[in-house]
Structure 1
Amino acid sequence: MYQQLNCKVVRNIPDKKTTFLISALAIATFSTACTLAQPNTTPSPANSTNQTEEGQATITMAVIPWQVSAEQEKKLQPLADYLTKALKRRFEFKITKDYETAIDLLVKRKVDIAYLAPTSYIEAHRRDPKVEPLVAQINKETKRPWYTAVIIASKTSGIKTLKDLKGKRFAFVTKLSTSGYIVPTVHFQEIGINPERDFSSVIFAGSHDKAKEALVKGEVDAIADDRRSYTDQVNEEKINPKKYTIIWESSPLPSVPLVASSKVSVKLKDELKKALIDAPPGLVDPTGGIGVGYTLVQDGDYDIVREMQKRIANK
């Protein structure tokens, strides 16, 4: 069901109204970075027993399969080591086979926290309103807590604009992916493209890496992706940028959150927030990419994605 990483303890542009809301969200969210009150470490009598047991337990984090699992495991080790040391608790990652499994583990309280796409977080929160987003990554390129969706096409396909996608083979990531499905689908609606009708074939690859793999293998002509995920693979020389082109990029989207399950105490939530906001520069984030830090987030920051979901549901 999932692959496990153990750590030893060493201590399409939306409309104008939507664009305005995103800009306001990004500014408001970024303004909270690096401001975190010291956690209240004094448990109430009612919670003292639970918090004592919690203090001895392993912290588990479910991670959606952003990259090939073996590579993701290797890249996550420095983050695991840092959190183990900072929290003085054994820390364990569970890289899930798909987005659905990560949501299930979180909602069923089988993990403490999960690293989810914004859309996946919204689904988890719908199923359990007590799950809570804690922090989100700051984009390495923009130095802001947002990212963008892109559509990437093979240059040999003859695709130069979104209209050229008609009759072509296309790959989404999963319907629970914000950049890999929700955002590009909303934009397709806006410009009159129906993937089911207009594309010769549509697949759901399951992860961002698998979508890019399908593109490189020539199994599809174009894909929906996360801009940073694509850029990271170009920088790692896994993708030749001379063979592919970004034909569309979205407006900024609220960044990917780290989400706490309903079983996690306020004390542990505060400790996790502080540890991640205080994390050293260059620490790999759960996607496997080099991060530049984290900022605090809250449920309302993801309302813009909820609105996009409604537009798809009401089409």
Structure 2
Amino acid sequence: MYQQLFCKVVDSFPNRKAIFWISGLAIAIFSTACTPTRESSSATQPITAESPGSVPNQAEDEQATLTMAVIPWQVTTEQEKQLQPLANYLTQALKRPFKFQITKDYDQAVEALIQGKAELAYLGPSSYIAARLRDPKIEPLVSPINQDTKRPWYTSVIITSNSSSIKTLQNLKGKRFAFVTKLSTSGYIVPMAHFQDIGINPEQDFTKVIFSGSHDKSKQALAKGEVDAIADDRRSYTEQVKQGKFDPRKYTIIWESVPLPSVPIVASSKVSIELKNALKKALIDAPAGLIDPSGAIGAGYTLVQDGDYDIVRDFQKRVTTK
């Protein structure tokens, strides 16, 4: 139901820029009448735009560096290189320094946003929901459009090694399995909800369960033979296949979820409406083929709102109440 409605809404507009300007008009009209009602804490890795020029005649706060906390989808060194062009573009588009801060884990990204250490964050849907529970004024702005599907969604998948002889989900019993983290939508929440639906209890039915901390590390564990199967994001898996890091002949996707709303770029409650709108415009107008915060080659961005993530809230309720 969610994905069908989502498709109709997206398909009803001729292009992404139309969505932005229509949403902007709605914001302008309603704003005149309404009042806006764990693990280690090791240092994060900042990626700042190279040689950002100063902007004359701007107030001091308008010259301050904008920071976006990013969840760890890739190995840190690779993610740094891939994010640099986007940092440079946003510095030019916003006329102020912009940097990315790759966090150690999902929790650290949420904390950076909540504690004001970052004005923005690229959070998984479940991480965004967790952050909004702590600060209801946190707002999702845009999300990347998937290059393969040309839609603002992605899916959760379960991938097995062909050497394990696993053909069905029931064959996972007695095997070793890797989730990403309990805050990962595709790497835990959604596949866990499905396991419960079909009567699989990972803690009891699997011989080993690990939480790798990132999608990249889960795939590494599968490639090294440390586990027999993993929960992953299909876009992340596809991207590594394209890069030649994963041989699809050695692995099989044995399950795929319904479409899930894409990972949002989120603004803290301290970000002004003017800056939010400037960020939306800059990202909607971003050049084609520019790497998005996940490290994937994107097909642009589309506007999102809190209600788009209700399907993920439904999955969370199924997992946390059983």
Query: TM-score, length-normalised on structure 2?
Result: 0.86
Residues 119 and 168 of structure 1: CA distance in aligned 2, closer, same or farther (over 3 Å)? same
3-state DSSP of counterpart to 2:140: strand
Aligned to 2:279: 272
Q: Distance in 2 between matches of 1:251 and 1:75?
A: 29
- State yes or no: 1:212 paired with 2:219: yes
- Specify the alignment match of 2:20 in structure 1: 36
Is residue 23 of structure 1 aligned with residue 7 of structure 2?
no
State how far apart, in whole Å, the 2-side matches of 1:74 and 1:129 are: 33
Shift of 1:169: 0.2
| Residue of structure 2 equivalent to 1:93 | 100
Q: Is the 1:30–1:144 Cα contact (8 Å) retained in structure 2?
A: no
Which of 284, 295, 298 aligns to 1:291? It is 298
CA contact under 8 A between 1:149 and 1:184: conserved in structure 2?
Answer: yes
- Report the alpha carbon displacement of residue 31 of structure 1 after superposing the two structures with TM: 4.7
Give the conservation status (yes or no) of the 8 Å contact 2:20–2:302.
no
Q: Distance in 2 between matches of 1:58 and 1:30?
A: 36
Determine if the alignment matches structure 1 residue 131 to structure 2 residue 138. yes
Matched residue, 1:55? 62
Offset at residue 21 of structure 1 (A): 2.0
1:60-209 residue pairs with structure 2 within 5 A?
A: 60-209=67-216
Q: Does the 8 Å contact 1:30/1:145 carry over to 2? A: no
Alpha-carbon distance in structure 2 between the residues aligned to 1:27 and 1:169: 40
CA deviation string 1:239-297 (max 9, x = no partner): 11111110011110000000000110000000000000011110000001100000000
Question: Helix, strand or coil for the counterpart of 2:150?
Answer: coil
Report the CA distance between 1:313 and its aligned residue: 1.1
Answer whether contact 1:26 1:145 (CA < 8 A) is retained.
no
How far residue 22 of structure 1 moved from its aligned partner, in angstroms, is 2.7
Cα deviations across residues 127-169 of structure 1 (Å, max 9, x unaligned)? 1101000001101111011000000000000101111100000
Q: Give unpaired runs (5+ residues) of structure 1.
A: 1-19, 42-50
Q: Deviation of residue 29 (structure 1)?
A: 5.0
- Alpha-carbon shift at residue 30 of structure 1 (Å): 5.8
**Equivalent-residue separation in structure 2 for 1:285 and 1:30 (angstroms):** 22
Q: Secondary structure of 1:93's partner? A: strand
Unaligned runs of 5+ in 2: 29-57
Task: State, as a whole percentage, how many aligned pairs show the same letter.
Answer: 67
SS state at 2:249 partner: coil
TM superposition score normalised by structure 1: 0.88
CA–CA distance in structure 1, aligned partners of residues 184 and 3 of structure 2? 18
Q: Which residue of 2 aligns with 1:47?
A: none
SS at match of 1:140: coil
- Tell me if the contact between 1:276 and 1:294 (Cα under 8 Å) persists in the aligned partners: yes
**Contact 1:29–1:297 (CA<8 Å) still a contact in 2?**
no
What amino acid is the match of 1:290?
I
Bigger relative contact order (CA 8 A; separation at least 6) = 1
